[in-house]
């Protein structure tokens, strides 16, 4: 039953993981269109953590301890570390009472053990995951939690390595639609992930090492979101 639950959650996230991509083809574009679908262990780790968050949301909604344990296991295997971001012109983040649940492995396992209601097998499984170490590729994804003001655009600049697949993902609190755009240093748009909801991912393959501008456009009220990069 749990395998069916996991599969359903992954399928649901897969639908969210298919953004409208716009690969820049203009002169001077720092995006290799021929390798637009390239991946790497680091990019896969970003996607794994994103899937784990979706599975955690499912586990919380359905009060399913196994889903929470599996999500914690995935996050520990991927690894995760802090991401330091500076807004354009050193602007300030918005302010909002947090609605995002704590999806750290320890918090997920604690909630799973509470939902286990004394079941020794589930508690033992949670304890096994807690004892396991992170096996993240290249230190795992980098993440930061912040708030974008209503009707506002957050803008950050992040450097990515040439010839290495790149990924940026966002996941919000559900209060508004968030669109994600990535531009190279010459102003070429290399990716756009737009549509309903506030969960999106952009992937591309830089031709050379350089800065990329990440824009998170808020189409509604203030939204607290997590942003991740490889």
What pLDDT is stored for residue 134 in this prediction?
58
Using the predicted structure, report yes or no on whether residue 10 has a pLDDT greater than 90. no
Share of the chain above pLDDT 70, in %: 85
Other beta carbons within 10 angstroms of residue 146's beta carbon come to 18
Residues 104, 74 contacting (CB under 8 angstroms): no
Classify residue 102 as exposed, middle or buried by CB count within 10 Å of its CB (0-12, 13-18, 19+): exposed
Task: List the structure tokens of 203.
Answer: 């992937």
Confidence of residue 18 (pLDDT cuts 50, 70, 90): very low
Please give the torsion angle defined by the CA atoms of residues 97, 48, 52 and 144, in that order, rounded to the nearest 10 degrees: -10
Sort strands 153-160 and 210-218 into parallel, antiparallel or unpaired: antiparallel
User: Averaged over 21-50, what is the pLDDT?
Assistant: 80
pLDDT by residue (tens digit) across 86-139?
888 878 888 999 988 999 999 999 999 999 999 999 999 999 999 986 554 445
Q: Is pLDDT at 5 greater than 70 in this prediction?
A: no
Q: Which residue has the higher pLDDT, 195 or 220?
A: 220
Q: How far apart are CA 224 and CA 65, in angstroms?
A: 26
Q: Angle at CA 209, nearest 5°, toward 208 and 213?
A: 105
Q: How many residues does the chain have?
A: 230
Query: Strand, coil or helix: what is 227?
Result: strand
Least trusted range by pLDDT, from 19-28, 142-151, 185-194, 202-211: 19-28
The per-residue pLDDT for 15 is: 44
- The reported pLDDT for the residue numbered 80 is 86
For residue 49, pLDDT beyond 80: yes
CA R_g for the chain: 18
Over 90: is that where the pLDDT of 16 sits? no
Under a CB-based contact definition with an 8 Å cutoff, are residues 30 and 210 in contact?
yes
Q: What is the pLDDT of residue 36?
A: 80
To the nearest 10°, report the CA torsion of 112, 117, 120, 124. 10
Instruction: Give me the torsion for CA of 134, 139, 140, 143, rounded to 10°.
Output: 120
pLDDT tops 60 at residue 17 = no
Judge whether residue 176 has pLDDT over 70.
yes
Could you give the angle at the alpha carbon of 120 between the alpha carbons of 117 and 121, nearest 5°? 110
Q: Is the dihedral of CA 149, 155, 159, 160 positive or negative?
A: positive
The whole-number pLDDT of residue 28 equals 84
pLDDT at 228: 96
């Amino acid at each position: 039953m749990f395998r069916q639950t996991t599969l359903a959650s992954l399928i649901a996230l897969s639908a969210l993981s298919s953004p409208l991509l716009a690969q820049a083809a203009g002169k001077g574009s720092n995006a290799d269109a021929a390798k637009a679908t390239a991946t790497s262990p680091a990019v896969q780790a970003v996607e794994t953590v994103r899937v784990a968050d979706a599975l955690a949301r499912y586990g919380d909604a359905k009060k399913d301890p196994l889903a929470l344990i599996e999500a914690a296991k995935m996050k520990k295997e991927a690894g995760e570390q802090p991401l330091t971001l500076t807004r354009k012109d050193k602007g300030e983040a918005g302010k909002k009472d947090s609605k995002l649940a704590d999806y750290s492995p320890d918090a997920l396992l604690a909630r799973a053990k509470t939902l286990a209601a004394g079941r020794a097998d589930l508690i033992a499984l949670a304890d096994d995951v807690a004892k396991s170490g992170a096996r993240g590729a290249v230190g795992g994804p980098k993440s930061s939690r912040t708030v974008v003001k209503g009707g506002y655009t957050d803008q950050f600049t992040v450097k990515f390595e040439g010839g290495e697949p790149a990924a940026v993902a966002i996941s919000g609190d559900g209060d508004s639609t968030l669109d994600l755009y990535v531009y190279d240093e010459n102003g070429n748009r290399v990716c756009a992930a737009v549509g309903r909801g506030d969960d999106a991912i952009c992937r591309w393959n830089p031709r050379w090492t350089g800065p990329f501008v990440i824009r998170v456009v808020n189409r509604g009220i203030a939204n607290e979101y997590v942003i991740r990069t490889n």
